[in-house]
């Protein structure tokens, strides 16, 4: 099999490329390098620089490399930015996907894995009741970004049914960590890098609200190591290749909640920093608790996360201090 990995120069995509090639699959990266880094693409893996909006370029890449499956990670992913730039997000994430699917069906590529997100659930009712979020939990996205992911799932499923394409939409929960320091996330959009940034500046990290109906009053999330997530892609991709007509929608999480306060305590333990967080008012739209049920992926793919939160923080910190050595204490 040869897999075209769109967004393969990005944080998660680079991990998927590495997991795929280590598992013996051939990979080709397709990326416009808008947020990706070419150096993340390993030697021996071709990099085609192009946008998913460029159907001719995609078609040529599928043909030139005799692609037999696509893992589509290329997208814009910042929730706040999507509120300000909805047209841009719909164009990149939905129109880019439509153009890509058109080329995929024209070339009769049989397998398609799509990067979705827990953002499709929005403020899940299950979370309010303290239950786990299953794939049957109603999807009510609260941002244009989440909407583009849900619309993307619909488009992928409808195309799969109409054109005999095997599909999997993978709903990632909170992704963290790195398989190697040079593959670490360079953005500061998630809790762990946001806390690292504050600690590096010598400023207390912030907790947005400590009066939620959770054990310590701070929001609870489900964190997944990016190396585990990448392994899940390999497993899903192989399932699609082996079983034509597959149509999967799967949460990828650990099924364990960690509060913001617990996370900051663990980050302080790993980094040696001791700054106590300051509590500021709640941010609008933050659900108290979003924790995945990981039962369906365990049943469907026999996949289970191997790494814990300590592994995520340790590996993310190694990547962080590689770029910012001043962050290390002492
Ligand atoms: N990071 C997370 O916590 C998280 C959580 C849920 C879902 N996701 C999804 O995972 C995927 C990868 O996210 P990431 O964190 O690695 O982000 P990233 O920004 O590091 O990677 C995205 C990659 O896609 C490329 N790209 C963007 N638009 C493109 C286009 N139109 N054509 C070609 N290439 C394009 C970028 O250059 C980049 O290399 C995205 O689809 C994102 O929505 C991420």
Ligand 1 atom at shortest distance from the alpha carbon of 53: 31
Clarify whether residues 172 and 32 are in a common domain: yes
Clarify whether residues 215 and 229 are in a common domain: no
Q: How far, in Å, from the CA of 302 to the mean position of ligand 1? A: 26
> Model confidence over 24-66: pLDDT tens digits?
999 999 999 999 999 999 999 999 999 999 999 999 999 999 9
Clarify whether residues 73 and 42 are in a common domain: yes
How confident is the model at residue 128, as a pLDDT?
A: 62
How confident is the model at residue 127, as a pLDDT?
A: 63
Q: How many domains does the chain have?
A: 2
Residue 264 belongs to domain with CATH number: 3.90.25.10
Clarify whether residues 81 and 111 are in a common domain: yes
How do strand 220-221 and strand 258-259 relate by DSSP bridges? antiparallel
Residues 280, 282: Cα–Cα separation, whole Å: 7
> Model confidence over 122-171: pLDDT tens digits?
988 766 667 899 999 999 999 999 999 999 999 999 999 999 999 999 99
Q: Whose CA is nearest to atom 32 of ligand 1?
A: 51
Q: How far, in Å, from the CA of 74 to the mean position of ligand 1? A: 5
Residue with tokens 């794939």: 135
Structural domain range at position 260 = 181-221+255-291+306-323
How confident is residue 284, by pLDDT bands cut at 50, 70 and 90?
Answer: confident
Specify the range with the lowest mean pLDDT, choosing from 102-111, 260-269, 276-285. 276-285
Q: Whose CA is nearest to atom 12 of ligand 1?
A: 73
> Model confidence over 234-253: pLDDT tens digits?
999 999 999 999 999 999 99
Which of 11, 30, 90, 145 does the annotation list as catalytic?
145
Choice from 35, 89, 122, 316 to test ligand 1 binding pocket (greatest atom count within 8 A of CB): 35
Clarify whether residues 19 and 125 are in a common domain: yes
pTM of the model as a whole: 0.97
Q: Does the C-beta of 113 come closer than 6 Å to ligand 1?
A: no
How do strand 166-172 and strand 111-117 relate by DSSP bridges? parallel
The answer to whether 226 and 12 have CB atoms below 8 angstroms apart is: yes
**Residue 149 falls within a domain, yes or no?**
yes
Interior CA angle at 189 toward 185 and 194, to 5°?
Answer: 90
The answer to whether 322 and 184 have CB atoms below 8 angstroms apart is: yes
Length of the chain: 330
How confident is residue 276, by pLDDT bands cut at 50, 70 and 90?
Answer: very high
How confident is residue 285, by pLDDT bands cut at 50, 70 and 90?
Answer: confident
HEC per residue, the chain: CEEEEECCCCHHHHHHHHHHHHCCCEEEEEECCCCCCHHHCCCCCCEEECCCCCHHHHHHHHHHCCCCEEEECCCCCCHHHHHHCHHHHHHHHHHHHHHHHHHHHHCCCCEEEEEEEHHHHECCHHHHCCCCECCCCCCECCCHHHHHHHHHHHHHHHHHHHHCCEEEEEEECEEECCCCHHHCCCCCCCHHHHHHHHHHHCCCCEEECCCCCCCCCCCEECEEEHHHHHHHHHHHHHHHHHCCCCEEEEEECCCCCEEHHHHHHHHHHHHCCCCCCEEECCCCCCCCEECECCHHHHHHHCCCCCCCHHHHHHHHHHHHHHHCHHHCCC
Clarify whether residues 163 and 287 are in a common domain: no
CB atoms within 10 A of CB 227: 22
Q: Give percent of the chain with pLDDT exceeding 90.
A: 93
Choice from 10, 37, 225, 251 to test ligand 1 binding pocket (greatest atom count within 8 A of CB): 10
Q: Does the C-beta of 177 come closer than 6 Å to ligand 1?
A: no
Higher per-residue confidence, 120 vs 328: 120
How confident is the model at residue 126, as a pLDDT?
A: 61
How confident is the model at residue 213, as a pLDDT?
A: 93
Clarify whether residues 160 and 277 are in a common domain: no
Is residue 145 part of the annotated active site? The answer reads yes
**Residue 242 falls within a domain, yes or no?**
yes
Q: How far, in Å, from the CA of 87 to the mean position of ligand 1? A: 17
How confident is residue 330, by pLDDT bands cut at 50, 70 and 90?
Answer: very low
Residue 168 belongs to domain with CATH number: 3.40.50.720
Q: How confident is the prediction for the chain on average, in pLDDT?
A: 96
**Residue 146 falls within a domain, yes or no?**
yes
**Residue 171 Cα to chain centre, angstroms:** 8
**Residue 329 falls within a domain, yes or no?**
no
């Amino acid at each position: 099999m040869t897999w075209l990995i769109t967004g393969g120069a990005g944080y998660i995509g680079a991990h998927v490329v590495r997991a795929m090639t280590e598992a013996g699959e051939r990979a080709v990266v397709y990326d416009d390098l808008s947020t990706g880094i070419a150096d993340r693409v390993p030697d021996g893996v071709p990099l085609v620089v192009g946008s998913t909006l460029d159907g001719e370029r995609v078609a040529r890449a599928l043909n030139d490399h005799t692609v037999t499956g696509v893992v589509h990670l290329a997208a814009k992913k910042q929730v706040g930015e999507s509120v300000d730039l909805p047209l841009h997000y719909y164009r990149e994430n939905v129109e880019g996907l439509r153009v890509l699917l058109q080329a995929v069906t024209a070339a009769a590529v049989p397998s398609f894995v799509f990067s979705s997100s827990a953002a499709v659930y929005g403020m899940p009712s299950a979370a309010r009741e303290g239950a786990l979020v299953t794939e049957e939990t109603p999807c009510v996205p609260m941002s244009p970004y989440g909407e583009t992911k849900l619309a993307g799932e619909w488009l992928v499923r409808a195309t799969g049914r109409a054109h005999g394409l095997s599909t999997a939409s993978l709903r990632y929960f909170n992704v963290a960590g790195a398989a190697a320091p040079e593959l670490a996330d360079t953005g500061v959009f998630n809790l762990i890098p946001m806390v690292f940034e504050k600690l590096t500046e010598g400023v207390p990290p912030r907790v947005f609200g400590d009066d939620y109906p959770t054990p310590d009053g701070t929001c609870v999330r489900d964190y997944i190591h990016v190396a585990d997530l990448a392994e899940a892609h390999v497993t899903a991709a192989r399932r699609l290749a082996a079983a034509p007509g597959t149509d999967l929608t799967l949460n990828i999480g650990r099924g364990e909640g960690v509060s913001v306060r617990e996370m900051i305590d663990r980050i302080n333990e790993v980094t040696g920093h001791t700054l106590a967080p300051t509590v500021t008012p709640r941010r609008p739209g933050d659900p108290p608790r979003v924790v995945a049920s990981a039962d369906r992926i365990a049943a469907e793919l026999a996949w289970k996360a191997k790494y814990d939160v300590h592994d995520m923080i340790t590996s993310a910190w190694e990547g962080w201090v590689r770029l910012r050595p001043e962050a290390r204490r002492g």
